[in-house]
Structure 1
Amino acid sequence: MTSDFSLLLPVYAKDDPAQLLRAFRSAVDEQVLRPTEAVIVRDGPVPEALAATLAELAASSPVPTRVLELPVNAGLAPALTAGLAACSYDVVARMDADDVSVPERFSKEIALLDTGFDLVGSGLAEFEDDEDVVIGVRTPPVGEAHIQRYARFHQPFNHPTVVYRRSAVERAGGYVAVGLMEDYWLFARMLASGSRAENIPEPLLKYRVGAGAYRRRGGVAQLGAELRLQRLLLRTGFTTPAQTVRNVVVRGGYRLVPEALRKVAYRTLIQRGFRRGASA
């Protein structure tokens, strides 16, 4: 089994100190297999309370923990790029500042990665305020062929659950800002560049669904990001013209429907229907 890996966790001004503390402890202190180090990227200045929590984590962590301080808020893609460069190990585990990893997460994901994969994700359980009250479960596609088919329509990994090889990320060109879809664009390029990928269907992370989760997925700005993503996928040959038309109609339309309908559409169409296998 891989003995050394880095935990990469980005933080910015709007993150909640208590949620960050819980996220970090779950991903380090409570893990059956702890990361060898943790790299927290502070994406720009943060409020005093959040700065104090970062200092506390760096001082009290059971593994070496570095807080990489970016002078301005650069956005998720630049923050993750800087964080990856600061990681000491090729194997890197992602974590967000408001989620909760279950204790067996890394032991199971790293064990699977060690069988020859470059990217491994898992299922997740959604919650709102109480992490023990599950309001939904996202089960990702399993099997390399299924993942390849699914990726032509939708993000095939629950992005805060993944562990990957930094060398495979770099081979694919690293993170590039595309609205809220930096992870999808990266994972598509990783698959296209020959990276082997798999998912564990079991929920190994508890995902906080905030009040604005579905609002952020819609609107004119996100439609623009969606159209840009679809152009990139087509230009690189990852999708066909027919697939692009389908994606623009379905995914683009999803960005413009009212928030309440968007929530229903997400759970019925994307979570359930395409989990069974999107057509090529």
Structure 2
Amino acid sequence: MEKFSVLISVYIKEDPVFFTDALASIFNQTLPPTELLIVKDGPLTEELDNIILNFIHEYPSKIRVFPLEENGGLGKALRIGVENCKYNIIARMDTDDICVSDRFEKQIGYLSNNPSAVLVGSFVEEFNKVPGDLKVIKEVPEIHDQIIKYSKQRNPFNHPSVAFRKSAIINVGSYKTMIYFEDYYLWLRLLNNLNGYIVYNIQDPLLYFRIGNDMIGRRHGINYLVKEINFLNLAFKESLITFYEFCRLIVTRVPLRILPKPLLKLFYKILLR
């Protein structure tokens, strides 16, 4: 099996308990990572710094920390992280999610056995307080052609579930600052420049995805809508989506962002899984 890095970005407002659980799940694997790169997106609290130090003490040869002097946002932190990971295969992870114990074995195994694949994601199981409390699976399409078609309507990958080849990500410009849409913007650029390579989603949940109490709130309102329109406008200008696809996305997105939260929550629960 190929050596691989896990990339995680942490900033001052992270929940220490969630962060601890996320880091523990990275190493509680049937195939542990060769390297964990933690990008500190600006100064952290003493508690968060101590959590990192405790894990370094437990896994001294596995963990590297890349500190940034000030908070620059997720896109910048991940871009720097990708550049500084030692290995060509990189698995993403977020600070409040939990890996299923065989996640890396399945994903790194897939990439090792499929040299033409540059990215693999998976289903995720959403949870609120403890894994299994919601029993909701967020599904994404499986094979290459389905993923490309789906990407013209919605984000085709569950971001913290993906593993990818560093070279392919850097080749399309890596992560860029695009608040709320850093990953979707990257995927569209990747899918439009595959040059014969493929992508894939494993049809099993390999990550427990914490949604929290205000997930709907984070995807609601004028501020989010403005950033979404700016993202879609840039995607159109860069020929990542057609004018028809741009118009369709605008027509479907605007009502969702301004619906009353109770209606949006119901709509999300019924139709947007």
Would you call these one fold, judging by a TM-score over 0.5? yes
Match of residue 177 from structure 1: 177
Aligned partners of 1:178 and 1:229 also within 8 Å: yes
Distance 1:63 1:156, change over 3 A: farther
Cα distance in 2 for residues equivalent to 1:189 and 1:53: 35
Structure 1 residue 21: deviation in Å?
A: 1.2
Aligned partners of 1:38 and 1:66 also within 8 Å: yes
C-alpha RMSD of the superposition:
1.3
Aligned partners of 1:226 and 1:252 also within 8 Å: no
1:107-256 equivalences in 2 (<5 Å): 107-114=105-112, 115=114, 116-194=116-194, 195-256=197-258
Aligned partners of 1:120 and 1:163 also within 8 Å: yes
Query: Which residue of the other structure, out of 72, 76, 92, is the alignment partner of 1:74?
Result: 72
Report Cα offsets for 1:222-261 as digits up to 9, x if no partner.
Answer: 1111111111221222222111111001123212212222
Cα distance in 2 for residues equivalent to 1:248 and 1:162: 27
Match of residue 274 from structure 1: none
Aligned partners of 2:75 and 2:179 also within 8 Å: no
Q: Say which SS state the counterpart of residue 237 (structure 1) adopts.
A: coil
181-190 or 11-20: bigger deviation? 11-20
Match of residue 92 from structure 1: 90
Report Cα offsets for 1:53-87 as digits up to 9, x if no partner.
Answer: 11111221275201211111110001101111221
Aligned partners of 1:81 and 1:175 also within 8 Å: yes
Count of residue pairs brought into register by the alignment: 269
Aligned partners of 1:6 and 1:87 also within 8 Å: yes
Tell me the amino acid that sits aligned with residue 165 of structure 1: R
Structure 1 residue 130: deviation in Å?
A: 1.4
Unpaired stretches in structure 1, ≥5 consecutive residues = 272-280
Aligned partners of 2:122 and 2:202 also within 8 Å: yes
Tell me the amino acid that sits aligned with residue 96 of structure 2: D
Q: Say which SS state the counterpart of residue 93 (structure 1) adopts.
A: strand
Match of residue 25 from structure 2: 26
Aligned partners of 2:123 and 2:137 also within 8 Å: yes
Q: Say which SS state the counterpart of residue 120 (structure 2) adopts.
A: strand
Tell me the amino acid that sits aligned with residue 73 of structure 1: N
Cα distance in 1 for residues equivalent to 2:262 and 2:40: 33
Aligned partners of 1:7 and 1:35 also within 8 Å: yes
Question: TM-score if structure 1 supplies the norm length?
Answer: 0.92
1:39-50 equivalences in 2 (<5 Å): 39-50=37-48
Tell me the amino acid that sits aligned with residue 155 of structure 1: N
Structure 1 residue 203: deviation in Å?
A: 0.4
Aligned partners of 1:43 and 1:74 also within 8 Å: yes
Structure 1 residue 51: deviation in Å?
A: 1.2
Cα distance in 2 for residues equivalent to 1:31 and 1:44: 29
Q: Say which SS state the counterpart of residue 267 (structure 1) adopts.
A: helix
Q: Say which SS state the counterpart of residue 118 (structure 1) adopts.
A: strand
User: Identity over aligned residues, as a percent?
Assistant: 36
Q: Say which SS state the counterpart of residue 201 (structure 2) adopts.
A: strand
Match of residue 12 from structure 2: 13
Question: TM-score if structure 2 supplies the norm length?
Answer: 0.95
Cα distance in 2 for residues equivalent to 1:42 and 1:57: 15
Q: Say which SS state the counterpart of residue 183 (structure 1) adopts.
A: helix
